[in-house]
Amino acid sequence: MTKILRNDLQIISNLIEENEKVLDVGCGNGNLIEFLSKEKNVDCKGIEIELEKMNFCLKKGLSVVQGDANYDLNDFSDNSFSTVILSQTIQATIFPERVIKNLIRIGKRAIISFPNFGFWKIRKDFIFSGKMPKNKILPYEWFDTPNIHLCSVNDFIQLCHKNRIKIKDKVLLNENGEKIQSINLFENLISYQVIFCVSKK
Amino acid sequence: MKKKKNIKRILISERLILDSGKTLPEYEIAYETYGKLNKTKSNAILICHALTGDQFCTLKNPINNKKGWWNSLVGPGKVIDTNFFFVICSNVLGGCMGTTGPESINPETKKPYGLGFPVITINDMVKVQYRLVDALNIKKLFAVIGGSMGGMQALEWATSFGHKVHSVIPIASSYRHSAQNIAFHEIGRQAIMADPDWNKGAYYHKKKYPKRGLSVARMIAHITYLSESALQRKFGRNLQNSKFFSFEFETEFQIESYLKHQGFSFVERFDANSYLYITKAMDYFDLSVKKGGLRKALRDKNLSYCFITFSSDWLFPTSETKTIIQSINQYNTKVSFAEIKTDKGHDAFLLHEPNFHSTLKSFITGQKKRFKI
């Protein structure tokens, strides 16, 4: 039995075809790439900044390079992967714009998931408490958070337009990690997490 | 130099054609093995030693009665577990621990080769290792692993005999020897050759051998194996025996004493001519000049790589390894890499470095699963 993936990772894995070549940037303990290589015969590679997590991946026989999404994506050549995944990490990068450009350079497409800072409860919390919002996936205090570039669904779409990045697909998730039907006008209010699939124009 | 009796060796009575075009009529390979080869012969690991290493990578070295140079890593229950793996380690061609080298007897003249020994390359060393692996009847090695010059050999295995290996593990190494590295080697060679006892390499029949030159070569090289911060941490500006300057040229600073000790102990175990030949082989090494460049040299898609570097290693900096990884990335996803944070410099690969050991162990564990051995 393969371990059940975190909800958003399960949805990402559904977006991956069999026999693809996938780079997972910030692969953590390698759950997603392990799943993809076993279940979909995907040729996988991970990038992970923390040595302990990387070692965890190595023990499973996965191929992982130690690296930082901000600086080390230059080691990969253009179109060398069919899909590049960046899950729950873009908000923690120093140069999100550079990172996104690199992702679609390396991969024919990129799948990027992040917590939506435009979610209505976050807005409500901020209005009523006047303090930086926290929730299950954003549990940190403002002064020690790795999430230095939080953005909303609308912010992300705007950045894509600015850089002429094509949005191929978009999956919105509620607080339980379940897919929600897109209500265009309110998507930025109702989604807790979001998964974008983007590519070069 | 101590005599080397009772060293395990095999004689290969075949001509060896070298990269230089010259040949050796026959050659001996001195080697050591640890652990047992399994029935399917799938558990063999070849360990390649660095410039001044030898085949005694673990247990007691019978020549100097010290522990093997990778004793911390290789042995029963260790990272390279000899309860499970069959470890092979051979002295390199041109070496002075039993494999044919400049101090060996030339079968044609019945005298030591000396400078009559042909100049060799890393590729020549690997051809000889290949012959040994063949003689041991191993079809495919589980891994080839080595640090520094050993890593060069591992990469050469990937290039020339990729079909004979599952995983290649180059540590603190590079695809080429940089200009700076060649420069340091040349100073070492000049120090040896400037020693009157060197006698143009013909000193084997004499009482004296170029101890001074070789020890200076070792002292210079040893600095390149450490880092500025490690030197400062270990020795600082501390004086050896006094609190005050002596205003003389005797050994005074602790660092001076340490280097001299390194130099003097080295000459007891190493042959000066071997040092010339092996440093030259390293200087000639550059996989990127092969036709098609690095990409073509390392194009074998079936190989699985694990590169490890050390943050304070300025002799083989991480950037060199990254160049290799960039070249492999395009064709082969099976590349893993870690840079271990340490101030111990290049020598870190020989020292107790827990993060290095845990990464290597993790990779080996994963590859055992991958290749189902």
Location of each CATH 1.10.1740.110 domain in chain B? 181-280
Region A7-200: CATH code? 3.40.50.150
Distances, alpha carbon A47 to alpha carbons A60, A70, A86, B351, in Å? 15, 11, 10, 27
- DSSP reduced 3-state for B93: coil
Q: Which residues of A fall below an 8 Å CB-CB distance to B? A: 21, 23, 43-45, 51, 54-67, 75-77, 80
**Helices B272-284 and B122-135: angle between axes, nearest 10 degrees:** 100
Instruction: Report the distance separating Cα B105 and Cα B205, nearest Å.
Output: 12
What ipTM was assigned to the predicted interfaces of this complex? 0.93
Select the residue from B362, B364, B367 to test the A interface by mutation, using most A Cβ atoms within 10 A: B362
Query: What is the tens place of the pLDDT at every residue in A18-52?
Result: 999 999 999 999 999 999 999 999 999 999 999 99
Topology of the domain comprising B181-280: Rna Polymerase Sigma Factor; Chain: A (1.10.1740)
Q: What is the pLDDT of residue B2?
A: 53
B365 contact A CB<8A: yes
Burial B162-183 (b: 16+ CB within 10 A, else e): bebbbbbbbbbbbbbbbeebee
| Residue B126 dihedral angles phi and psi, to the nearest 5° | -70, -35
Query: What is the tens place of the pLDDT at every residue in B48-100?
Result: 999 999 999 999 998 888 999 999 999 999 999 999 999 999 999 999 999 99
What's A101's DSSP letter? H
B362 contact A CB<8A: yes
CB contact under 8 A, A66 and B338: yes
Domains of chain A, by residue range, sit at: 7-200
Q: What is the pLDDT of residue A1?
A: 40
CB atoms within 10 A of CB B292: 9
Query: What is the tens place of the pLDDT at every residue in B101-147?
Result: 999 999 999 999 999 999 999 999 999 999 999 999 999 999 999 99
Q: Which of B358, B285, B329 is nearest to B123 (CA)?
A: B285
**Helices B272-284 and B211-225: angle between axes, nearest 10 degrees:** 40
Q: What is the pLDDT of residue B285?
A: 98
B358 contact A CB<8A: yes
How confident is the model over B341-368, as a mean pLDDT?
97
Topology of the domain comprising B9-177+288-370: Rossmann fold (3.40.50)
Instruction: Report the distance separating Cα A175 and Cα A7, nearest Å.
Output: 11
- DSSP reduced 3-state for B260: helix
B28, B128 contact by CB (below 8 A): no
B332, B168 contact by CB (below 8 A): no
Location of each CATH 3.40.50.1820 domain in chain B? 9-177+288-370
Closest-CA distance, B325 to chain A, in angstroms, reads: 7
CB contact under 8 A, A60 and B369: yes
Instruction: Report the distance separating Cα B92 and Cα B271, nearest Å.
Output: 13
Tens-binned pLDDT, residue by residue, of chain A (201 aa): 445 688 889 999 999 999 999 999 999 999 999 999 999 999 999 999 999 999 999 999 999 999 999 999 999 999 999 999 999 999 999 999 999 999 999 999 999 999 999 999 999 999 999 999 998 889 999 999 999 999 999 999 999 999 999 999 999 999 998 899 867 789 999 999 999 999 998
